[in-house]
Amino acid sequence: MKLKWALIGMMITIAAVLAGCEPLLVLDPKGPQAERQASDIMLSIGIMSVIVIVVFGLLITMLVKYRASKQSADYEPPHMEGNIWVEVICVGIPVLIVAYLSFVSVQSNYIVESKPVGYEDKEPLVVYASSSNWKWHFSYPEEGIETVNYLYIPTDRALEFKLYSYGPITSFWIPQLGGQKYAMADMVTTLHLAADVPGEYMGRNANFSGKGFAQNIFDVTAMSQEEFDDWVKEVKETAEPITEEKFDELLEPGHLGRMTFTGTHLEFSPAPEGHNHGSSEAEENTESHVSEEDTSEGHSDHSNH
């Protein structure tokens, strides 16, 4: 009886604690990429829950039905042959589950690596997101502005992030908009996202990168296209231009608050786009074509280097 009430009390305590927790951000998607990933997570949880329930049900059945009984000391159990159908079920079902989850995972990977569903025909907003110890720099080349540690984005528009790092490998992650992707020093990785709902979201570096890792976060604000355009106009009218000296100062290890500039550091410190990972096939073909032209036209210059 005491054990029964102890178990009931423990269950009530766990339920009370969990009731006070905030919902998992990955299960509260605000964009098409995040919705796809959240559905995959819930599918995996559902399948695993069924497996756990079935296994525990079989365990309890075996413990009750085939529990030890009092037999004489010389008792020998009868010889029993294996059941082929039991073996097929025990091996076949896990194989089918793994095959199905693999199919879903591969399909989802292609979906989240492409432009968001419903935004294929819309021109994306390109943002260069670079990290340094321990801050994030966001360059808007089309708008001609740059921010530090905060990101403003329009809703109902595809977002194309070009990720790279001025220090150790980091991981760009906005849980409510999509999965993480690594930012590295000598190459650019491309991440496609979109925000369907205006609001405030949390972004962070999801990869350990030193003692300042815990504070390597940034704020994300999604707004309508009209509000975004007004913000860009305000920045151009009020912010100071970014200079090479100022950018070198920003790259020094440390933590900073929000900062806003006109212009971008791409003008004097361009992204390492010679090694672009995750771009579309058309972009890669274009880059390859340009590279071949450069090689043929300036072979002697390149050989000197």
Domain boundaries of the chain, sorted by first residue = 125-293
pLDDT, residue 20, reads 46
Please, are residues 27 and 34 in contact by the beta-carbon 8 Å criterion? Answer: no
Rounded to 5 degrees, what angle do the CA atoms 125, 176, 126 make? 10
Q: Distance (Å, rounded) from C-alpha 110 to C-alpha 115?
A: 10
Q: Which two tokens stand for residue 105?
A: 């995972």
In angstroms, rounded to a whole number, what is the distance separating the alpha carbons of residues 113 and 53? 34
Give per-residue pLDDT as tens, 149-192: 999 999 999 999 999 999 899 999 999 999 999 999 999 999 99
For 138-174, letters b (16+ CB in 10 Å) and e give bbbbebbbbbbbbbbbbbebbbbbbbbbbbbebbbbb
Tell how far CA 175 is from the center of its chain.
Answer: 6
- Topology (CATH) of 125-293: Immunoglobulin-like (2.60.40)
In whole angstroms, how far apart are CA 269 and each of 34, 73, 144, 265?
32, 84, 14, 6
The tokens describing 116, both together, are 């968001």
Instruction: Provide the mean pLDDT of the chain.
Output: 85
**The residue to which tokens 């009931």 are assigned:** 8
Edge-first strand listing for the sheet containing 150-154? 150-154, 217-223, 199-205, 170-173, 181-183
For residue 204, what pLDDT is reported?
Answer: 94
Give the end-to-end CA distance of the chain in Å, rounded to a whole number.
83
pLDDT for res 83:
83
Q: Would you say 289 and 297 are in contact if contact means Cβ atoms under 8 Å apart? A: no
CA 170 to chain centre: 12
Query: Which residues of the chain have a pLDDT value below 70?
Result: 1-7, 10-11, 13-23, 275-305
Q: What is the pLDDT of residue 23?
A: 62
**Residues 90 and 102: beta-carbon distance below 8 Å:** no
